[in-house]
Amino acid sequence: MHIVIMGCGRVGSALAQTLEGQGHTVAVIDRDPTSFRRLGSSFSGRRVTGIGFDQDTLREAGIEDAGAFAAVSSGDNSNIIAARVAREMFGVENVAARIYDPRRAEVYQRLGIPTVATVRWTSDQMLRRLLPSGAEPLWRDPTGGVQLAEVHTSQAWVGHRISRLQDQTGVRVAFLTRLGEALLPSSQTVLQEGDLVHVMMRTDEIDRVEAAFAKGPEEEGGQ
């Protein structure tokens, strides 16, 4: 897929490098040509100097062939204008805009532009680490019957295998986040302190799963 990114700050440059590493072609737009230094010498995509919502600039970046567009500059107004131009004038299907003001993000969501509200996301993630509790939904299937969620896990589970956690709670562990990195566990993987556990489960079983994760493992004789 060809992907156009508006904004070559820390987020935009990291996104560009990641997407190119996954085999996509990438074009990055920024009005400051010195910002492209963040991309590094190994980046082989397009570097386009200009305003991200200008149609000629977007065409130079290959917007007419793009399957996705990300607006991640430092300006909320620029991001949302560029996202709307990409979607409404060039028909790009996958569009997202970074928004600093969470109140604006709600408005733009209603306009059909997916947004990432930076302040709210960061606040939510910090609160999640400071005051862990319950389950935090990450994804739901279209019917709402199944969801992927990060579930707060009691320290009592540390040192026990994933297989025991799954057997006693009845969920499937999709992945762990360990030391900031995603890990696909096997049944023999042992939970470590600080692991974030992400599970697939039925939506109607959230309360039961939360309770089981918070309680800790049952005695072997009680299984």
Half-sphere exposure of 138 (CA within 13 A, CB side): 14
Q: How many helices (H) and strands (E) does the chain have?
A: 7, 11
Q: What is the mean pLDDT of each run of 10 residues along the chain (223 residues)?
A: 94 91 95 95 95 96 95 91 93 87 72 71 61 72 85 90 92 86 89 88 89 86 46
* Phi, psi for residue 215 in degrees, rounded to 5: -75, -35
pLDDT confidence of residue 177: 85
- Over residues 91-125, the pLDDT tens digits come to 998 888 888 887 777 677 666 677 777 766 656 66
Residue 198 belongs to what H/E stretch?
Answer: strand 196-202
Query: How far are the Cα atoms of 93, 141, 220 from residue 65, in angstroms, in the given order?
Result: 11, 29, 58
- Over residues 45-63, the pLDDT tens digits come to 999 999 999 999 999 999 9
The pTM of this model reads 0.60
pLDDT confidence of residue 35: 96
Buried b (16+ CB within 10 A) or exposed e, 120-148: beeeeeeeeeeeeebbeeeeeeeeeeebb
pLDDT confidence of residue 72: 92
